[in-house]
């Protein structure tokens, strides 16, 4: 058994245990394998173990890997910061984008989505409290941005994404994930239909699942410590 295969099994067990602890159906939480900096061959190994959804942070790297692995019919998710002059290859290649944090990006992705493809599945990235990252809209901006994104023809707004700073104690992590969940619930009460919370990574997926995550994005625990990028 390769280490990727063993690691994937271990992550699936963690997800199952976290769902059991949270009283949630494990079918409600899907695993996105984050393959940034890892070669296509590593993705191929994970795919051989039944993993279908893969996350990429860098446009060129993700597009190249998706092309190299086109024979596998995998589902590609773009999860990194996106410059508006790089939306076209993302709209043409990916099934999902988790990192929409401004309307201009969403408008370009919708306009550039090829006619033959299903709508691009989108999460609005929100900068919840305690995040050092510059990415993500504020919680205050989220309602208007979500409504505008939901109205675009070639996008389908699915939910919210966040990358809270790693927290030492689980109580703090739970609070941050809980903020995203509460925002999603408020938006749904206001008439949106958001079924997705993309939150939780290798170190904190249990807390994220406890707080309601429906997609956990896991890299290191599957592929190992990343090589330096560039």
Where does this chain bind ligand PLP (CB under 6 A)? Answer: 34, 36, 57, 79-80, 163, 201-203, 217-221
CB of 141 to ligand PLP, least distance (A): 19
Closer of 120 and 154 to ligand PLP (Cβ) = 120
212 or 219: CB nearest ligand PLP: 219
Closer residue to ligand PLP in complex, CB, 90/154: 90
Contact yes or no for 46/227 (Cβ under 8 A)? no
Bridge partners, residue 126, by sequence: 137
Distances from the Cα of 132 to the Cα of 36, 135, 136, angstroms: 21, 9, 11
Residue nearest to ligand PLP (CB): 219
Helix (H) or strand (E) holding 187: helix 170-189
Find the shortest distance in angstroms from Cβ 219 to ligand PLP.
3
Q: Which is nearer to ligand PLP, 163 or 210 (CB)?
A: 163
Pairing of strands 96-100, 215-218: unpaired
C-alpha–C-alpha distance, residues 177 and 214, integer Å: 12
Q: What is the DSSP letter of 86?
A: G
CB of 130 to ligand PLP, least distance (A): 16
């Amino acid at each position: 058994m390769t280490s990727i295969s063993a690691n994937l099994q271990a992550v699936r067990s963690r997800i199952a245990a976290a769902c059991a602890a949270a009283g949630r159906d494990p079918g409600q939480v899907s695993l996105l394998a984050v393959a940034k900096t890892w070669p296509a061959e590593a993705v191929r190994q994970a795919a051989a173990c039944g993993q279908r959804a893969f996350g990429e942070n860098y446009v060129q790297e993700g597009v190249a890997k998706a092309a190299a692995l086109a024979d596998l019919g995998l589902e590609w998710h773009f999860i990194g910061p996106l410059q508006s002059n790089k939306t076209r290859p993302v709209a043409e290649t990916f099934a999902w984008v988790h990192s929409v944090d401004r309307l201009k990006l969403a408008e370009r992705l919708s306009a550039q989505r090829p006619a033959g493809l299903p709508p691009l599945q989108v999460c609005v990235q929100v900068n919840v409290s305690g995040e050092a990252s510059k990415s993500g809209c504020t919680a205050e901006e989220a309602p208007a941005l979500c409504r505008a994104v939901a109205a675009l023809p070639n996008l389908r707004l699915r939910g919210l994404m966040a990358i809270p700073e790693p927290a030492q104690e689980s109580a703090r992590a739970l609070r941050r994930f809980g903020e995203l969940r509460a925002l999603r619930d408020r938006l749904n009460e206001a008439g949106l239909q958001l079924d997705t919370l993309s939150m939780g990574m290798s170190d904190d997926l249990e807390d994220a699942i406890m707080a309601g995550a429906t997609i956990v994005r896991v890299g290191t625990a599957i592929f190992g410590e990343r090589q330096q990028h560039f």
